[in-house]
């Protein structure tokens, strides 16, 4: 193949074959990811026929990881990351320690050196960013409580692997390996010092210091300058310039993070997205990045499939199965136990454990470094790739099954009413006991048979006020809430509430949304509110929507959306309504009549 067409041919072959196999997988009711992986096997170097350029595919796959992490950052602010630190930092590090130790112990049983055992253990301990995030997107859980924990977990794992990649070259001589030819930088310079047990603290301190400096710069400088830059570009009015600014921000910060601070490209892009999420233009940035993100994410799975050597299943089938068991069963159990030890709800612990039961990109990077350092034989690297391919394939069905079980468990634990059923009065209050079971005739906490009621998403200060007004008016409503404690409290008071993520169609189905009259969305996250309304309109195109917003830009967006044919509703900008209420009182206090004050406020609201 001519060198100047390698990129075009790889993209065309990768996306074309992935499309065919993805459609076949979807027809067989499998995840399209399975089709993408098989497409990589077909065009890879270990199967007959056309062979794509593996080097080009890996670089395109890295671009996909960068864009994916950038998109996740747009949904996940730095404040969210700080709130989750008490769970994700000890949780991720403990899970890495448990899984890594199990993997290293098994490797030693197989006769590997200590260096090979360490590399193998690390490769099994870290989950694939792309697989986990794509799974969350497919289940509409990226903005859920579990999704935020998962994203924070990935960030901590990413940082831990960055440190591991820095330390492995320094530790290689002590573990029976050697430094790679031309080793450079802090890690390469420390190799000779590490040979006699000295110099380990220097590269570790340098790596930690760089990470801390980078995060500090993004927190104190990036969250102010990047949104300011995008706002100025948006004022120019050129769509192309704004899209270019978004891509330059994602790739530029990722490159600077890797070159200057030793942080991975993907982690740098994540923080770029996180600082943009502070801007009112975050939804526009997400819309511009999404198409490229999806296309390059497909190429990531194709590149993973290209690494697979089918012969390893014949030569070492038991070893491959052992690694798959460690990844799928061992990591899932370790994640669950760690989450429970950190006092997380059973549902969150189950979902988190299942989500990390796979390995991916960092596993390949770690094993490749281990091979180059002489710590891990090349044939053992093939074992990791085979285990990764199988674990990624089964991860989707496993997570789906665990999710259904976890939902039933959460419903059963959220309220003592589950055992006896429930029914409701016209005002929306519940009747408890055997009478309720006979009256309802449906499964507990399933309101799919209701009609002409209100679905209220969120029961915070705003949602609670709306609920009280509906109760006083004698109008039936169902609350959809993610916080188990809130759901349990509502049910104990006789409220109709279900526990779940309102961005999921099945949750809204249980709330009876397809036949509801009104949807009230009080979710504080604007991107999440958009997704809820999109899913709701898909299930009930004629439902009236009332949504709470937090900025003028968000209110304008929702007003345009609700002005589309078939859509009716209202968006309420909380701070503006508070200001208008105060202005109305001020006008009356200064002697204006109530009608005159109403006229002025109506004019302001219209403006």
Q: What is the mean predicted confidence (pLDDT) over 53-59?
A: 78
Distance (Å, whole) CA 87 – CA 129: 18
Tokens 């448990």 sit at which residue?
Answer: 98
Q: Average the pLDDT over 421-450 and give the result.
A: 49
Query: Over 215-283, what HEC string results?
Result: HHHHHHHHHHHHHHHHHHHHHHCCHHHHHHHHHHHHHHHHHHHHHHHCCCHHHHHHHHHHHHCCCCCHH
pLDDT above 50: residue 137: yes
Residue-wise pLDDT for 550-559, tens only, equals 666 666 777 7
Q: What is the DSSP letter of 475?
A: -
Beta strands in 426-527 (DSSP E): 430-432, 454-457, 477-481, 497-499, 518-521
- Which residue did the predictor score with more confidence, 565 or 465? 465
pLDDT top residue among 123 and 590: 123
| Residue 180 predicted with pLDDT over 80 | no
More confident residue, 129 or 288: 129
- Split at pLDDT 50, 70, 90, the class of 281 is low
Per-residue pLDDT, averaged over 322-351, amounts to 91
Give the integer Cα–Cα distance in Å for 144 and 150: 10
Q: Which of 120-124, 211-215, 465-469 has the lowest mean pLDDT?
A: 211-215
pLDDT reported for residue 94: 94
User: Which element (helix H / strand E) includes 93?
Assistant: helix 85-109
Determine the pLDDT at residue 272.
Answer: 83
| pLDDT of 420 strictly over 70 | no
Joined together, the tokens standing for residue 482 give: 């993610």
Question: Tell me, what's the pLDDT at 520?
Answer: 92
Q: Which of 253, 367, 368, 306 is nearest to 56 (CA)?
A: 306
Distance CA 229, CA 238 (A): 14
Q: 306: part of which helix (H) or strand (E)?
A: helix 282-306
User: What are 299's two structure tokens?
Assistant: 């190429």
For residue 421, what pLDDT is reported? 41
Q: Look at residue 186 in the predicted model and tell me its pLDDT.
A: 39
Cα–Cα distance between 514 and 146 in angstroms, integer?
26
How is residue 2 annotated by DSSP? -
pLDDT-derived band at 478 (thresholds 50, 70, 90) equals: very high
In order of 453, 550, 580, the CA distances from 556 in angstroms are 27, 11, 17
H helices present in 342-377, as ranges? 346-355, 361-372
A 10 A CB-CB count for 436 gives: 17
Tokens read off for 335 = 């994640």
| Mean pLDDT, residues 96-101 | 94
Instruction: Supply the pLDDT for residue 192.
Output: 46
Q: What is the pLDDT of residues 356-394, one digit of tens each?
A: 999 877 888 888 888 888 888 888 888 998 898 899 888
Which range has highest mean pLDDT (24-38, 50-64, 190-204)? Answer: 24-38
> How many other β-carbons are positioned within 10 Å of the β-carbon of residue 237?
8
pLDDT at 444: 55
Residue 440 pLDDT > 50: no
Is residue 183 predicted with pLDDT exceeding 70?
no
The answer to whether 84 touches 77, Cβ cutoff 8 Å, is no
CA–CA separation, 368 and 384 (whole Å): 11
* Residue 411 to residue 419: CA distance in whole angstroms: 10
In the structure, what pLDDT confidence band is assigned to residue 453 with cuts at 50, 70 and 90? Answer: very high
Angle of helix 378-414 relative to helix 114-125, nearest 10 degrees, comes to 40
Q: Is the sign of the CA dihedral 71, 76, 82, 88 positive or negative?
A: negative
Tokens 């009621």: give the residue. Answer: 453
544-549 and 454-457 beta bridge pairing? unpaired
Checking if the pLDDT of 279 tops 80, the result is no
What is the average pLDDT across 234-261?
A: 82
Q: Which of 223-232, 485-494, 513-522 has the highest mean pLDDT?
A: 513-522
Q: What is the mean pLDDT of residues 306-311?
A: 84
Contacts of 187 (CB under 8 A, 6+ apart): 165, 166, 167, 168, 169, 170, 203
pLDDT score of 245: 84
What one-character-per-residue DSSP string does 34-65 give?
Answer: HHHHHHHHHTSTTSSS----HHHHHHHHHHHH
Highest mean pLDDT among 138-152, 208-222, 310-324, 401-415: 310-324
- Euclidean distance between CA atoms 494 and 422, whole angstroms: 9
- Considering only residues 286 and 503, tell me which one the structure prediction assigns the higher pLDDT: 503
Of 109 and 69, more confident:
109
Decide which of 323 and 578 is more confident.
Answer: 323
Q: pTM for the complete prediction?
A: 0.64
Higher pLDDT, 141 or 103: 103
Q: 545 forms bridges with which residues in the sheet? A: 519, 569
- Average pLDDT taken over every residue of the chain: 78
Structure tokens at 373: 């350092």
Residues 352, 335 contacting (CB under 8 angstroms): yes
**Burial track 480-507 (b if 16+ CB lie within 10 A, e otherwise):** bbbebebbbbbbeebbbbbbbbbbbebb
pLDDT digits (tens, 9 = 90+) for 568-607: 777 777 677 777 778 878 888 888 887 788 788 777 766 6
What pLDDT sits at residue 256?
86
CA atoms lying within 13 Å on the CB side of residue 369:
25
Measured between alpha carbons, how far apart are the two ends of the chain, in Å? 62
CB-based contacts of 266: which residues, under 8 Å, 6+ apart?
A: 62, 65, 66, 68, 69, 129, 158, 254
């Amino acid at each position: 193949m001519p060198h100047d067409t390698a990129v075009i041919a790889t993209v065309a072959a990768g996306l074309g074959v992935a499309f065919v196999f993805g459609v076949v997988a979807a027809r067989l009711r499998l995840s399209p990811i399975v089709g993408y992986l098989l497409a990589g096997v077909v065009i890879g170097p270990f199967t007959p026929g056309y062979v794509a350029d593996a080097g080009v595919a890996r670089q395109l796959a890295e671009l996909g990881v960068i864009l994916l992490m950038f998109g996740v950052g747009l949904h996940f602010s730095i404040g969210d990351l700080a709130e989750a630190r008490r769970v994700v930092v000890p949780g991720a590090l403990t899970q890495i320690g448990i899984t890594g130790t199990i993997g290293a112990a098994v490797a030693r049983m197989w006769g590997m050196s200590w260096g090979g055992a360490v590399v193998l253990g690390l490769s099994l301990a870290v989950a694939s960013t792309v697989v986990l995030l794509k799974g969350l997107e497919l289940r509409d859980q990226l903005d859920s409580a579990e999704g935020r924990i998962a994203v924070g977990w990935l960030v901590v794992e990413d940082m831990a692997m960055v440190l591991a990649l820095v330390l492995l070259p320094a530790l290689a001589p002590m573990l029976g390996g050697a430094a790679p030819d031309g080793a450079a930088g802090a890690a390469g310079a420390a190799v000779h010092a590490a040979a006699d047990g000295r110099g380990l603290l220097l590269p570790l301190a340098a790596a930690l210091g760089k990470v801390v400096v980078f995060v500090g710069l993004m927190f104190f400088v990036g969250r102010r300058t990047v949104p300011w830059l995008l706002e100025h570009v948006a004022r120019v009015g050129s769509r192309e310039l704004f899209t270019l600014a978004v891509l330059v921000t994602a790739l530029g910060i990722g490159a600077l993070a890797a070159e200057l601070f030793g942080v991975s490209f993907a982690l740098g892009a994540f923080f770029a997205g996180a600082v943009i999420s502070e801007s009112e233009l975050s939804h526009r940035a997400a819309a511009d990045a999404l198409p490229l993100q999806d296309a390059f994410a497909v190429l990531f799975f194709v590149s993973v499939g290209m690494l697979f050597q089918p012969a390893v299943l014949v030569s070492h089938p038991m070893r491959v199965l052992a690694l798959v068991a460690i990844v799928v069963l061992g990591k899932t159990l370790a994640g669950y136990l760690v989450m429970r030890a950190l006092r997380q709800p059973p549902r969150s612990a189950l979902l988190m454990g299942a989500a990390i039961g796979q390995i991916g990109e960092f596993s390949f990077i770690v094993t490749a470094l281990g091979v180059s350092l002489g710590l891990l034989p090349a044939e053992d690297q093939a074992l990791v790739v085979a285990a990764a391919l199988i674990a990624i394939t089964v991860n989707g069905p496993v997570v789906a099954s665990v999710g259904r079980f976890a939902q039933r468990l959460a419903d059963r634990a959220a309220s003592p009413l589950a055992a006896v059923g429930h029914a409701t009065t016209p005002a929306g209050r519940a009747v408890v006991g055997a009478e309720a079971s006979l009256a309802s005739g449906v499964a507990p906490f399933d309101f799919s048979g209701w009609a002409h009621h209100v679905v209220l998403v969120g029961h915070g200060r705003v949602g609670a006020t709306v609920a009280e007004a509906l109760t006083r008016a004698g109008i039936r409503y169902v609350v959809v809430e993610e916080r188990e404690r809130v759901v349990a409290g509502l049910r104990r008071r006789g409220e109709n509430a279900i526990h779940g993520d309102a961005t999921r169609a099945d949750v809204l189905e249980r709330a009876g949304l397809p036949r509801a009259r009104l949807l009230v969305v009080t979710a504080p996250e604007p991107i999440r509110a958009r997704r809820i309304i999109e899913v709701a309109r898909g299930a009930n195109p004629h439902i009236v929507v009332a949504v709470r917003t937090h900025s003028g830009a968000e209110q304008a967006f929702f007003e345009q959306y609700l002005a589309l044919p078939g859509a009716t509703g209202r968006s309420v900008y909380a701070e503006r309504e508070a200001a208008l209420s105060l202005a109305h009182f001020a006008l009356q206090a200064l002697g204006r009549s109530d009608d005159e004050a109403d006229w002025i406020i109506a004019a302001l609201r219209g403006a």
